[in-house]
């Protein structure tokens, strides 16, 4: 079995799931997209659901991996938060199709697999929360409820896949700076 | 045709769409849920898609209606924003099933209907943006890019349906205050 064929199948699946939705995409659609008979496709995959799990798992794992790295850096909490936002928005913009599938379609997984994705998502929320707690402990942040504030920041970042256009007037870096400024300084004039 | 039967069908549809997803719900599932034969159900509805459109349209229209009212009130931009957040989170918590269907499944609508939902969503984004612009003009807010900041605030509010639990330790009013404080004052200690 060729590893490049696996990659090709995964890429076709993420594109089809994003465009048509997971449920509306058939195994035949995926086979057609990579020029295989349906029977031959099953040499490479066990099921359509396994492809969904693979896409969702890779996407959420990448978020966790980059944030763990940032959390270990010897920089201030506000710099960590700004980096977290830029990384999150960059991953979302670069892998827009996979992130759409993760955020919209992962609920269609059977319960054990969905539970794994939820646990990894909770872990990510905890990592963001810990940045806010660190800022609070160091007196850098004034934050009444770190977990709820982390969920607000995450929601803002997760919404990007719904409106970001690569041909838009702003780069991901510019959007990240606007977000970081909003969350760090707030809207009120000083 | 009884109007209460229409309501019962719409309620069954929103519950089934939320639980199983729009695509995985059949017209037969909806008929079973309201104790009708599939043929009789078609006396009340034209198609499953019409039910999806009805749910999505009602949900986004309620967001727009409440925000238009707030925008016309004679209160400060920061009070408007705090009210917008509380209204958005309250609607999302009370109609969690309908909001889930709106945010997750509306993309499955055919193009013209989906376009209508997108236009109403854009209108809501514009209404939030106009609060930030008003705050900027009155010198109350310092905001570099009102539209991007509005999208950040909206994303934070829209994410609620993924984590809010009616049996959680915080009320919607408390969460709204934490959100408003975050967006108005930011995380940084003064």
Shared-domain flag, residues B63 and B137:
yes
Shared-domain flag, residues A129 and A159:
yes
In a domain, A127, yes or no: yes
Cα–Cα distance between A117 and A61 in angstroms, integer?
9
Shared-domain flag, residues A62 and A77:
yes
pLDDT range class, residue B165, cuts 50, 70, 90: confident
Shared-domain flag, residues A86 and A116:
yes
Residue A2's pLDDT is 61
Residue A188 CB neighbour total at 10 angstroms? 16
Shared-domain flag, residues B40 and B61:
no
**pLDDT for residue A1 is more than 60:** no
Shared-domain flag, residues B90 and B5:
no
In a domain, A60, yes or no: yes
SS3 content of chain A, % helix, strand, coil (to 5): 75, 0, 25
Cα–Cα distance between B172 and B7 in angstroms, integer?
26
Shared-domain flag, residues B27 and B95:
no
Q: How many domains does chain B have?
A: 2
**pLDDT for residue B157 is more than 60:** yes
Tens of pLDDT, residues A114-130: 999 999 999 999 999 99
Average pLDDT, chain B: 95
Residues of chain B with Cβ-Cβ distance to A175 below 8 Å are 148
**Between B141, B148, B175, which is nearest A175 by CB?**
B148
**pLDDT for residue B2 is more than 90:** no
Task: Nearest chain A residue to B25 by CA: give it.
Answer: A23
Nearest to B153 by CA among B95, B80, B94, B50: B80
| Mean pLDDT, rounded, for B9-23 | 96
Cα–Cα distance between A100 and A25 in angstroms, integer?
15
Shared-domain flag, residues B176 and B124:
yes
| Mean pLDDT, rounded, for B46-60 | 97
Shared-domain flag, residues A80 and A135:
yes
Left (φ > 0), alpha (ψ -120 to 50) or beta: where does B11 sit?
alpha
**Between B141, B160, B188, which is nearest A187 by CB?**
B141
**pLDDT for residue B14 is more than 80:** yes
Residues of chain A with Cβ-Cβ distance to B135 below 8 Å are 187
Shared-domain flag, residues A56 and A33:
no
| B175 CA: distance to closest CA in chain A (Å) | 7
Contact flag B185-A188 (C-beta cutoff 8 Å):
yes
Tens of pLDDT, residues A157-168: 999 999 998 777
Cα–Cα distance between A13 and A17 in angstroms, integer?
6
Shared-domain flag, residues A97 and A37:
no
**pLDDT for residue A24 is more than 90:** yes
Cα–Cα distance between B66 and B53 in angstroms, integer?
20
Cα–Cα distance between B12 and B184 in angstroms, integer?
40
Chain B residues in contact with chain A using a Cβ-Cβ cutoff of 8 Å: 21, 23-24, 78, 81, 104, 107-108, 132, 135, 139-145, 148-149, 151-160, 162-163, 170, 175, 178-179, 181-190
In a domain, B190, yes or no: no
pLDDT range class, residue A135, cuts 50, 70, 90: very high
Contact present, B15 and B97 (Cβ < 8 Å) = yes
CATH number of the domain within which A179 lies: 1.10.357.10
Nearest to B67 by CA among B139, B122, B141, B148: B122
**pLDDT for residue A32 is more than 60:** yes
| Mean pLDDT, rounded, for A9-22 | 96
| Mean pLDDT, rounded, for B37-51 | 95
**pLDDT for residue A3 is more than 90:** no
**pLDDT for residue A81 is more than 60:** yes
In a domain, A190, yes or no: no
In a domain, A19, yes or no: yes
Contact flag A179-B148 (C-beta cutoff 8 Å):
yes
Shared-domain flag, residues A150 and A87:
yes
Tens of pLDDT, residues A41-73: 999 999 999 999 999 999 999 999 999 999 999
Exposed, middle or buried, A61 (CB in 10 Å: 0-12/13-18/19+)? middle
**pLDDT for residue B101 is more than 60:** yes
Residues of chain A with Cβ-Cβ distance to B104 below 8 Å are 104, 107
In a domain, A108, yes or no: yes
Average pLDDT, chain A: 95
| B3 CA: distance to closest CA in chain A (Å) | 32
**pLDDT for residue B168 is more than 90:** no
CATH number of the domain within which B36 lies: 1.10.10.60
This model of the complex carries an ipTM of 0.94
Domain containing B128 equals 47-185
Contact flag B187-A107 (C-beta cutoff 8 Å):
no
């Amino acid at each position: 079995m060729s590893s490049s064929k696996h990659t090709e199948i995964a890429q076709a699946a993420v594109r089809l799931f994003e465009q048509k939705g997971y449920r509306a995409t058939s195994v035949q659609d995926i086979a057609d997209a990579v020029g295989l008979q349906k029977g031959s496709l099953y040499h490479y995959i066990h099921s359509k659901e396994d492809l969904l799990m693979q896409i969702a798992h890779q996407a959420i794992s990448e978020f966790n991996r980059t944030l763990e790295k940032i959390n270990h850096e010897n920089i201030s909490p506000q710099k960590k938060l700004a980096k977290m936002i830029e990384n999150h928005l960059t991953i979302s913009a670069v892998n827009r199709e996979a992130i759409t599938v993760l955020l919209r379609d992962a609920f269609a997984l059977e319960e054990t697999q969905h539970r794994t994705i939820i646990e990894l998502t909770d872990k990510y929320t905890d990592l963001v929360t810990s940045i806010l707690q660190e800022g609070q402990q160091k007196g850098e942040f004034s934050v009444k409820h770190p977990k709820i504030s982390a969920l607000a920041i995450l929601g803002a970042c997760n919404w990007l896949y719904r409106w970001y256009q690569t041909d838009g007037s702003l780069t991901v870096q510019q959007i990240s700076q606007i977000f970081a400024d909003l969350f760090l300084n707030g809207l009120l004039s000083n």
